[in-house]
Structure 1
Amino acid sequence: MRKWRSAVVTAAWVGVGTAAGALGAWQLATADGGGAAHSRPLDEAAVERALAATSASPRPTPTSATPSAPTKTASDRSTLRFTGGTATVECRPDGTVYLVSWSPADGFHIDDDVERGPAAVTRLEAEPSDDDERDDLPYEIRCGEGGEPRARVVADADD
């Protein structure tokens, strides 16, 4: 009698485990966009709508070539924001500048021939992904008074 009960309890546990696994597999297979974030990729229009819905302020349009003032970080590095992207920059005690890292903005890429320094002047170029509509934005970055980096658009050497 005792072996019979043990077999029934084991069979019940196996049945419950199998049912739970089957239910989980069914939920994954039938989940819609609300059930699984990875079930359907978003097209470009859906991404724009989602960004617009979550954004507290409108996205800046990359029409101005005027960089913003740098933001100091704890490691004595500054982050420059400019049309076409951002760059993390170090102004060194000897007056040279060094590009630690850079990242393109949406719709841009940074050209491969970055001159990162350390040097008196460093250079990088933000190129629009839609090459036919907007001009490339070559930047020179140097350290100004007080050790603050400054970026400015210069004439494009490729033109």
Structure 2
Amino acid sequence: MAAGWLLAAAVTAGVGTVALDVVGAGILGPQNQPLSQDDVARALETVPPSTTPARPAPTTSSAPAPRGLTVPGGRIVAQCAGDQVTLMSWSPDPGYRIDDFVRGPAATASVKFKNGGTENTVIVDCRDGEPHAESVADESGGHHGRG
């Protein structure tokens, strides 16, 4: 009886091994078989060089980064591109408000900070590729309206 059991176990193991070989190689096809180093080398030789995507060259910006400027009445962030300046943002100090602005890009940009009767116009231009600000204060002494 033990001999019959051993024979049945051996036959079952043999059938299982053959079945796995058939499933791995024949039914599902050779794509499920691991590739040897030679297979990989042959596959790489058949790939034309033009199908390999080229890495883009890193781009560098010639424009300087935006620069923050603290001026009487608030703060401005400006950026130059050649001789053109653009006001990226501005924020008035407490008690001030924005009365008028010219964002650019232009040879000069400006923003007017106002606090009661005090107006401070900031004119920004580009010098050597960097934004520079100049302030012009107008103490109107309570005069309202435009002349």
Structure 2 length as normaliser, TM-score?
0.48
More strand by share: 2
Between structure 1 and structure 2, the one with the greater Rg is 2
Structure 1 length as normaliser, TM-score?
0.45
